[in-house]
Amino acid sequence: MTVADASQRPERVLITGILGQDGAYLARHLLDRGHQVVGLGRRLDDASRRWRLRHLGVDHAIEPVELDLDQVRDPATELVPWCQAARIDRIVHLAAQSSVARSLVEPLLTADSVGLGAVRLLEAARLMGGVPLVLASSAEILDVTGQTRLDECTPLAARSPYGAAKAFAHLMARVYRNSLATPVSSAILFNHESPLRGPEFVTAKIVREMVRIRRELSAGLSKPPPLQLGRLGVLRDWSHARDIVDGLWRIAGQPEAGEYLLASGRLHSVRDFVDATANRLDLPLHWEGEGLDEVGRCARTGVVRVRVDARFYRPDDPDQLPVDLRRTIGALGWQPTVSLEPLIAEMCDLELLRPLN
């Protein structure tokens, strides 16, 4: 296998959060380029939890490390010895409680997992003499109020425990980079999706529910229960996770550690996402009403397929803004390659193959 990327040298890379969406895609990306992957996760012996690694054909190519980062109290004795024994050249820290919605009901767990979890890895990297580390930061740390575009200079703010914990991790990464001689980069990630997205996220829910409706119609049910969502007009910047892990690895290959935004640079509403999913499944919709009263009806029969549910409606959830990717593209030579329709097609195609529960 050839080594074809920025570093041009085979490395042993520790990926935390190996069982998650990005962990699996990054592992595939690195193994394809001749690197070796040490994958950290919890309950790794449960085969059902390794479904993403199996889907990408990398389950047996990873050196597993079983560890719950929330339990680590002393990186010097609990992380450094085995990292050194495993000859880790580089760390990509992805492990985190990654749901904004869950953070609203479990703020303590989120603060520990997202905030202190990052510091545990940063401290281990420092204690090992400055092992390079890339941190998965988030667009949820950016203050969108009063802005027209987002870039590396956008001020920080948070609207959820998840955003606040990511902002803390992001600032700690700056401290380690600027004051503690540790080469730490932060990747400010906007939403990214794939067929391997966790079922709790809205894009996975849209695809799953529209496929259910498709199946129920095919089975002869004339009025399947509609898909229920929050505010349909909210704007998001969605990429494919494959593009994002490519960006992460290019950040790792930069000569100087720093901060980079990774986004598609395109905004779409949740309504656009539903429409594209419905079209892919030959369920064309037309939209009526506004706000809580908006519905998506079957364009052929008028039957309601999509409804707004007050339980999911967050009127104060701000739209994302256009992202200025000039610095990212210039420095990394990175470009997003997958637009929304092919991303949704890939998500629908895998969902259609999933057996019914």
The reply to whether 22 sits near ligand NDP by the rule CB under 6 A is yes
Residue pair 189/162 in contact (Cβ under 8 Å)? The answer is: no
Question: Can you tell me the distance from the alpha carbon of 138 to that of 220, in angstroms, rounded to the nearest whole number?
Answer: 43
- Residue 203: both structure tokens together: 């894009």
**Residue 198 lies near ligand NDP (rule: CB under 6 A):** yes
Check if 162 is active-site. yes
- Give me the amino acid identity at 95: A
344 binding ligand NDP? (CB under 6 A):
no
Known active-site residue 25 = no
Closest separation in Å from C-beta 180 to ligand NDP: 21
Question: How many binding residues for ligand NDP (CB under 6 A)?
Answer: 24
Spatial CA neighbour of 239 closest among 99, 134, 343, 163: 343
CB of 109 to ligand NDP, least distance (A): 9
Q: Is 17 in the site for ligand NDP (CB under 6 A)?
A: yes
Candidate list 192, 236, 240, 271; residue touching ligand NDP; CB under 6 A: 192
Buried b or exposed e, range 218-231, using 16+ CB within 10 angstroms? eeeeeebebbebbb
Residues 65-104 touching ligand NDP, rule: CB under 6 A, are 68-70, 94-98
Phi, psi dihedral angles at 46 (to 5 degrees): -85, 105
Q: Which phi and psi angles does 163 have, rounded to 5°?
A: -60, -40
SS3 call for 234: coil
CA pair distance 122, 105, nearest whole angstrom: 27
Q: Which is nearer to ligand NDP, 30 or 213 (CB)?
A: 30
Q: Whole-number minimum distance, CB 301 to ligand NDP, in Å? A: 35
Residue 196 has what DSSP assignment? T
Which region among 21-29, 205-213, 253-261, 306-314 touches ligand NDP (by CB under 6 A)?
21-29
The answer to the question of residue 200 lying near ligand NDP (CB under 6 A) is no
Give the distance, in angstroms, between the CA of residue 34 and the centroid of all CA atoms in the same chain: 24
Closer by beta carbon to ligand NDP, 110 or else 277 = 110
41 binds ligand NDP (CB under 6 A): yes
- Residues marked active site are found at 140, 162
Which parts of this chain interact with ligand NDP (CB under 6 A)?
A: 17, 19-23, 41-42, 68-70, 94-98, 113, 117, 136, 138, 189, 191-192, 198
